[in-house]
Amino acid sequence: MKNLAFDWNELKFFLAVARSGGLSGAAAVLGTSASTVSRHVDALERRTGRKLFLRQQSGYALTDDGTELLAHAGRVEQAMTVAAAPADAQHAASGVVRLATTEMLAQYLVAPRLAALRTLHPALRVELDVAMAAVNLSRREADLALRMAAPDGGAGDYIARRIGKVDFGLYRAADVPHDSDDYISWDGAWDGLPMAAALRAAFDGKPPVLACNSLPTQVAAARSGVGAAMLPCFIGDAEPALQRAERLATPVSRDLWLVCHRDLKASLRVQAMAAFLTEITGVCHARVL
């Protein structure tokens, strides 16, 4: 496809469908109708002589030819954005950037600091996909992912880098006795986490009084005096109703990984979000007492 003369008007419809995974999402981004998006995508497929998408009930999935075109189209988009921008705005990002992360990172780390990102990039819109399960960046379910687990495959499709770490500590309500054996942990689906293992060791294998896969719920329960909880230090230290419990034999921490699809590494909106996340993750690393 490298010898094709690209029509930017058709390419922007192609990019919108590739990133949103369907006609409706692309139409919403472009401010037009799904039928208009479909017409432009069909025209591009006829002109290239290639099938760019698999039309499925769940949405539009890129074919191999579509993936190849996406790499070229992304570079065209970058060039067009820079060429069309005023000199003082050529480094400002715009459009929609989709970030997948966990409930804990979204609620306590990302969302409270988004105003700073908006100040730098007022034309940038953010979509947060909050879930425990990892999204598939190869299928464009998100542009970037911020996780506390290293990616386990797909190295050819995406770029992953460690941007920091989260230190954990044991916290309990100030009015709970220091010798209390009541604690809060993760439920059976997540009891393999290092934090859960450290809790079992700290409490000599005694089962938790509350098992829950939602960290904000654990914070609320610890605050109300249900038991001690293993929390990120940047969250626990900021809670006035909680105090650090010196019970852990060794400090516990998790690496923070930022992952983005290789085809999007030159995108201004992705670069802006990546720089923002790299900066704010500095608060996650605190000295463990």
233 in a domain, yes or no? yes
Contacts of 43 (CB under 8 A, 6+ apart): 10
Coil vs helix vs strand at 98 = strand
Parallel, antiparallel, or unpaired for β 158-173 and 95-101?
unpaired
Q: In this model, does residue 80 exceed pLDDT 80?
A: no
User: 40-54, 73-87, 188-202 — which is least confidently predicted?
Assistant: 73-87
109 in a domain, yes or no? yes
Q: In this model, does residue 73 exceed pLDDT 80?
A: no
pLDDT one-digit tens code per residue, 276-285:
898 888 766 6
43 in a domain, yes or no? yes
Q: Which two tokens stand for residue 72?
A: 């070229």
What whole-number percentage of the chain has pLDDT above 70? 81
What pLDDT, on a 0 to 100 scale, did the predictor assign at position 173? 93
- Please count the other Cβ atoms lying within 10 Å of the Cβ belonging to residue 278: 14
On whether both 17 and 42 belong to a single domain, the answer is: yes
Which has more confidence, 7 or 106? 106
On whether both 33 and 100 belong to a single domain, the answer is: no
Total count of domains within the chain = 2
What pLDDT, on a 0 to 100 scale, did the predictor assign at position 57? 79
Mean local confidence (pLDDT), 41-56: 90
Contacts of 26 (CB under 8 A, 6+ apart): 13, 16, 17, 19, 20, 34, 37
Q: Which two tokens stand for residue 79?
A: 């060039």
2 in a domain, yes or no? no
Looking at 54, 84, 114, which one is the last position of a domain?
Answer: 84
Parallel, antiparallel, or unpaired for β 242-244 and 124-130?
unpaired
What pLDDT, on a 0 to 100 scale, did the predictor assign at position 3? 45
Which has more confidence, 269 or 85? 269
17 in a domain, yes or no? yes
On whether both 171 and 289 belong to a single domain, the answer is: yes
Looking at 69, 84, 99, which one is the last position of a domain?
Answer: 84
Mean local confidence (pLDDT), 129-150: 71
Which has more confidence, 17 or 10? 17
What pLDDT, on a 0 to 100 scale, did the predictor assign at position 111? 93
Angle, CA 91 vertex, CA 86 and CA 94 arms, to 5°? 85
CA–CA separation, 23 vs 13, rounded Å? 9
Tokens 């992360």 found at: 101
Q: In this model, does residue 2 exceed pLDDT 50?
A: no
What CATH code is carried by the domain that includes residue 154?
3.40.190.290
Mean local confidence (pLDDT), 104-111: 91
Q: Which two tokens stand for residue 250?
A: 């060794």
On whether both 214 and 258 belong to a single domain, the answer is: yes
User: 63-77, 113-127, 132-146, 262-276 — which is least confidently predicted?
Assistant: 132-146
What pLDDT, on a 0 to 100 scale, did the predictor assign at position 193? 81
3 in a domain, yes or no? no
What H or E segment, with its residue span, contains residue 137? none
On whether both 280 and 163 belong to a single domain, the answer is: yes
Tokens 């809790």 found at: 199
Q: In this model, does residue 288 exceed pLDDT 60?
A: no
Q: Which two tokens stand for residue 280?
A: 């704010």
What pLDDT, on a 0 to 100 scale, did the predictor assign at position 153? 56
What pLDDT, on a 0 to 100 scale, did the predictor assign at position 176? 84
Q: In this model, does residue 79 exceed pLDDT 70?
A: no
What CATH code is carried by the domain that includes residue 56?
1.10.10.10
On whether both 72 and 140 belong to a single domain, the answer is: no
1 in a domain, yes or no? no
Closest alpha carbon to 160 in 193, 127, 134: 134
On whether both 57 and 37 belong to a single domain, the answer is: yes
On whether both 134 and 249 belong to a single domain, the answer is: yes
On whether both 151 and 126 belong to a single domain, the answer is: yes
Mean local confidence (pLDDT), 89-108: 82
On whether both 70 and 103 belong to a single domain, the answer is: no
Whole-Å CA distances, 132 to 30, 147, 170, 273: 30, 9, 22, 20
pLDDT one-digit tens code per residue, 177-234:
877 889 999 887 777 788 888 888 888 889 999 999 888 999 999 999 999 999 998 8
In one letter, which amino acid is 66? G
On whether both 109 and 152 belong to a single domain, the answer is: yes
What whole-number percentage of the chain has pLDDT above 90? 22
Query: What are the helix (H) ranges across 31-109?
Result: 34-48, 64-84, 103-105
- Domain of 155? 89-289
Mean local confidence (pLDDT), 120-138: 76
What pLDDT, on a 0 to 100 scale, did the predictor assign at position 31? 82
Looking at 29, 60, 84, which one is the last position of a domain?
Answer: 84
Q: Which two tokens stand for residue 116?
A: 């700073």
On whether both 117 and 137 belong to a single domain, the answer is: yes
